[in-house]
Amino acid sequence: MAKSSLKLKKSELKEFLDEKATLYESPKFIGTDPIQIPHQFNQKEDIEIIGFLVATIAWGNRKSIINNGNKLIELLDNAPHDFVINHSSNDLAKLQSFVHRTFNGTDLITFIESLKNIYTHHNGLENAFSTNTTKTGMQTAISDFKKLFFEIPHLNRTQKHISDPLKNSAAKRINMFLRWMVRPAQAGVDFGLWKSIETTQLSCPLDVHSGRVARQLGLLKRTQNDAKALGELDKQLRKLDPIDPVKYDFALFGLSAFEKDLF
């Protein structure tokens, strides 16, 4: 298929994207993706804690993200939930050495302290995200989660590491994390751990790569990758599959990463 023939009829587009979503949602996808980090664990709390931390640093070079994800595991003594709940001040001191782009050791320490607050006083990450969901999406819930996350003492600089959709952010990394936690695990990629959030409520992790493919396929017209663009893309993907619209993240990402001759 040449680039000039990418304008597909709706039925053709759905068939094309369904095929690509199935192709790329497979265990072989894990080997090149940050989702491999939480796949090293079996317990729900370990998976969601390390998944959240890795999703937080999931920008930039993918190899660097994965390498730093493994460093996080080491720093948390290979037991993320136990470390979060039972860490001492001495345990936190060693986290100061961590850095991934603008996310540094001070940010990581704040994240660990906030996660302890969430698991101790708010019944864990799933409950923290699912308290204020709506049938139409997770935007308000994500914004409310950010407020809850930073109810502990923190430096203002650390707030930038959690996006707010109500301030026009596409919140790519949080939406990716929610995909990991909520979508079913049958294909061996996502985890299907969270039952209090429906796949119908999820939004596609929108970034420069998925946005470019979405525009070339006619799914997105807005040029900025912001909350308004995400709303536009969500609307189109829900038309293709109202039950599991975010499965198309695999198609959009895969087409961008592995079929560059098309895109």
Q: 57 and 106: one domain? A: yes
Supply the angle between the helices 105-121 and 44-56 in degrees, to the nearest 10. Answer: 140
Both 109 and 237 in one domain: the answer is no
Task: Give the residue from 202, 231, 252 where a domain finishes.
Answer: 202
| pTM, 2 dp | 0.94
Q: Which residues of 5-20 are buried (b: 16+ CB within 10 A; e: fewer)?
A: ebeeeeeebeebbeeb
Residues 123 and 58 in one domain: yes
User: 139 and 218 in one domain?
Assistant: no
Same domain, 112 and 157: yes
3-state helix, strand, coil in the chain (%, to 5): 65, 5, 35
Q: What are 55-97's pLDDT values in tens digits?
A: 999 998 999 999 999 999 999 999 999 999 999 999 999 999 9
Structure tokens at 64: 């660097």
Domain count, the chain: 2
Q: Say if residue 139 is in the same domain as residue 84.
A: yes
Domain's final residue, options 169, 202, 235: 202
Q: Which residue has the tokens 């993918």?
A: 62
Query: Quick check: helix, strand or coil at residue 113?
Result: helix
Please tell me whether residues 17 and 42 are part of one structural domain.
no
**Could you tell me the pLDDT band of residue 155, with boundaries at 50, 70 and 90?**
very high
Considering the domain architecture, whether residues 64 and 8 belong to the same structural domain is answered as no
**b vs e for 45-80, b when ≥16 Cβ sit within 10 Å of the residue's Cβ?**
bbbbbbbbbbbbbbbeeeeebbebbeebbebbeebb
pLDDT band (50, 70, 90) for residue 134: confident
Structural domain of 78: 36-202
Residues 188 and 259 in one domain: no
